Structure 1
Amino acid sequence: MRFARLGPVREEVPVVFDGARALDLRSITPDIDGAFLASGGPARVSAALVAGSLPELEGADDLRIGAPIARPSAVYCIGMNYAAHAAESGAAPPAHVVLFMKAPNTVVGPDDDIVIPAGSAKTDWEVELAVVIGSPAHALASPADARAHVAGYAVANDLSERAWQLEISGGQWGKGKSAPGFCPLGPWLVTPDEVDADDVALRSRVNDEPRQDSRTSDLIFGIDEIIWELSQRLTLEPGDLILTGTPEGVALSGRFPYLSPGDVVEIEIDGLGTQRQRCVAA
């Protein structure tokens, strides 16, 4: 299934797609969020699809696309999880999972504008596979238990201000990761049965010029290992996001200019959809 949230900011309507038709889910849930995922919401939607009881959302094609899940309680991010990206960042591939966090209020729609923060000279793009947690996970016995806690997957852009992240960070990356709107997400939340998340292509372009082009099979730490490792240190909750890392091809490499007002960023993951963002000044 492909879930989405359509409409103005803070007024999004939860939908599921049946082919090209967006079907209104408000008879089942007020939103796509952790409570919906934890309470068996996807199974109820599946049953309603079989029964043909969901109405089509009128005018859906003309509505803004919001993030496919309402504000999560946490956005966990895995750093330097592609060897080539670690190298272009000037670091060796990590021996252990590198964890940092973004503020949950950075999550916005996939096509919302990127606002270049005031004073920023090094705003960067990063296409990433996002994992959405569907049930609580803590102290899992092994990585083999991880996938049972996954509700689905989405496209994410882990926007970063590199000077704030690396030059004035004091060793912590959060300053450069949590500017308003720095986590475009979507367009869809796709259930695990519809995509082989362990081996899909992910790409980015800036002003129609290729930047990143890789596959999730190149992850240093795979999805199961990431979830298992995090569960040993913290509790993952329904609706939480895990951004699994970005491949090489970002501006930090020195091969490309950082983002400026007027630039257009496009990122995509096969089977999960495409984002398109216009950069604007603060």
Structure 2
Amino acid sequence: MNLGPASLTITNLDRSVAFYQDVIGLQVHRGTDAGAVLGAGAADLLELVEEPAARPAGRHAGLYHLALLHDSREELARAVQRLVVTRTPIDGASDHGVSEAIYLPDPDGNGLELYADRPRDQWPPPGPGERVGMYTQPLDLQALYGLVAEDEPVRHASPGFRVGHVHLHVSDLEAAVAHYQDTLGLELMVRMPSAAFLSWDGYHHHLGLNTWRGVGIPPVPADAVGLRHFTVVDRDGEPRELADPSGNRALVQASSPASQAMSSFSTAG
């Protein structure tokens, strides 16, 4: 099992397409009735659905960030270079031991993480009760940028760019963990008082869950910007649609989602 494209509600398609092309390095693959599908190489990563009247996200369940994974440290450095060239502000940059990450919002405030993994044999050892070791320290952005500082900027991300993980706000952490373990077979890797990280195949995390907006927050609203759904590719399973106890939605596809599958499930949860 792995992650496929994610679908986001945005308010201005032209503005968002320009951001995801020029800042993030994606390419437009095709238009849809309500928006556009973008990706890297041949793979779709993101569906943008325009709803001009959508309100900003508030104190409710939904997207914390969508994490897009670069296939090398040099590609992450090129992402930094795109941020420099486009003068795009960021929210932060962290070294997590298992990965190096940069955080920023899209034009509607949807949280994004751009990151690259370290080789597994370099991951920190797990602590007591953990299956993987992760920490948060400041990232040396200057050293990262130095890998490509003398190179000409590259507009597009490499074909290996993909959705690495999704991190969600939930109202009840225990209920959310149980839901994703039971329905998607995710394994708990790290459990904190107000957050949990789950994965398949020993990865540090394909899914993050937190109650940082508060326990018992309202479910995902239908009229706000944010994550409409994320996609799980299960080549041995049956297509289905799932909603966790907080209203966050996942679409399970039996193979890489085609454009028809992306558009047919594009209603807000």
Same-fold status (TM-score > 0.5): no
TM-score range, shorter chain: under 0.3
Q: Which structure dedicates a bigger proportion of its chain to strand?
A: 2
Q: Taking structure 2 as the reference length, what is the TM-score of the superposition?
A: 0.28
Q: Which structure dedicates a bigger proportion of its chain to helix?
A: 1
